[in-house]
Amino acid sequence: MIKTEYDIVVVGGGPAGTTAARHAAEQGVSVAVFHRNNEIGAPVRCAEGISRFIIEKYLGKENIRDSWISSESDKCRLISPSGKIVDVHLKESGYILNRRIFDMDLADWAARKGAQIFTGAFVYHVEKHETHALVFIEQYGKKYQVKAKLVIAADGVESRIARFFGVKTQLRPCDIDSCAQVLATNIAMQKDRIDFWVSQKIAPGGYIWLFPKGDGIANIGIGISGQHNGEKNARQYLDEFLAVNFSEASILTNILGGVPVAEPLESFVADGLMIIGDAARVANPVTGEGIGPALSTGTRAGKVGGRAILEKDTSAKFLKAFEKEWRRDSGKYNGFFYRLKEVILNISDEELDRLAEKFADRDPVSITLTEVFRKVVWNKPKLLVDVARAFAGF
């Protein structure tokens, strides 16, 4: 049953929202999560890749379940426009998750800590008052009004909730990638390797990925910069790629979606509001990875949000602590990745081929991502320094 009052209302039951809800509920405050979709974790709008380090850091090694993981990769292949291959051995391996189960388990975990989760529950309006917010929800044709001391906006890439608090979250077309992805079977691939095709012709301003999910089954998808989403859309680019490279594939699922590849919002807080995950624009602007940033912002927001209720201070000033910590730690390279994205956006296919040529005949074990990106920004001294720092360990 939806109650008339909660300490904290979280809008969105993705990894950011349910992680924040769990950390807040653990402190004994009342928390409700309203999730628009009828099911947590579905549809899966994600290639499901996450670094092992990040998931262990935020969820704890001891809590990771086998059922979350479809496969593990410690190899990465980059394929240039003319088909030149650069194989990289990753120092830190990554998981391809099963997000349907992963997201569901995160929600279940939050519920076991005391948060109430409501699915099929769309938040259509929020009214900000001096000491609280009124949250308006529609669930299966019935309308509800809920009072909350604090609202956590975890409403993903479309993010409307923060706007009710006067925070601008609109994205420029160049700061959003349009994505299409299929789960395909009958795929010839290596189970422990993730593949990327880079070419302005086949994926303008973005790339195509293949993330293995098991024997002969993979997420194959494309992200193209929103500014190139004109003549052809992401789905058409992907269809052309599949026809050429995986003509024998059978397609089990199709999805479309957007990824914010922007700089983080100027501020993640207002009085009575915290913004986390894709809604705060914290995904990596180069790779579009947003699960890790959803967990890192969700963890910090839940902890600080819970404390704010206990200490009766939901001012922006108090809530800011979560954002400051995130920018100091997890988010410290987001600005750099944004500048790197701008460089990558403008690399021609000829240049990409020339770059790939530099790695010809090299042993993959000797190639690191640091070296690859160093070569990408060789003529940008300011970025060179950050490449070494941001890719340390990869």
Ligand X SMILES: Cc1cc2nc3c(=O)[nH]c(=O)nc-3n(C[C@H](O)[C@H](O)[C@H](O)COP(=O)(O)OP(=O)(O)OC[C@H]3O[C@@H](n4cnc5c(N)ncnc54)[C@H](O)[C@@H]3O)c2cc1C
For 371, list phi and psi in degrees, rounded to 5: -65, -40
- Rounded to whole angstroms, how far apart are CA atoms 289 and 26? 27
- Total binding residues for ligand X by CB under 6 A? 38
Site for ligand X contains 299 (CB under 6 A): no
Q: Which residues contact 243 (CB under 8 A, 6 or more apart)?
A: none
321-340 footprint of ligand X as x/- string (CB under 6 A): --------------------
Any idea how long the chain is?
394
What would you measure as the largest C-alpha separation in the chain, in angstroms?
66
**Position with the least CB separation from ligand X:** 290
Taking CB under 6 A as the criterion, the residue among 73, 181, 200, 296 binding ligand X is 181
Nearer to ligand X, 7 or 48 (CB): 48
103-142 footprint of ligand X as x/- string (CB under 6 A): -------------------xx-------------------
C-alpha pair distances (Å), 293 with each of 64, 276, 278, 284, 305:
17, 9, 8, 8, 17
The H-or-E segment that residue 18 falls in is: helix 15-25
Taking CB under 6 A as the criterion, the residue among 264, 288, 302, 331 binding ligand X is 288
Minimum distance, C-beta of residue 384 to ligand X, in the bound complex (Å): 26
Site for ligand X contains 259 (CB under 6 A): yes
Phi-psi region of 49 (alpha: psi -120 to 50; beta: other; left: phi over 0): beta
Which residue in 64, 42, 281 sits closest to 154, CA to CA?
281
Q: Which residues contact 156 (CB under 8 A, 6 or more apart)?
A: 12, 14, 277, 278, 279
Site for ligand X contains 156 (CB under 6 A): yes
Q: Which stretch binds ligand X (CB under 6 A): 14-22, 84-92, 340-348, 380-388?
A: 14-22
The H-or-E segment that residue 381 falls in is: helix 381-390
35-54 footprint of ligand X as x/- string (CB under 6 A): xxx-------xxxxxx----
184-223 footprint of ligand X as x/- string (CB under 6 A): -------------------------------------x--
Task: Give contact residues for ligand X (rule: CB under 6 A).
Answer: 11-17, 34-37, 45-50, 122-123, 154-156, 158, 160, 179, 181, 221, 257, 259, 277-278, 283, 288-292, 294
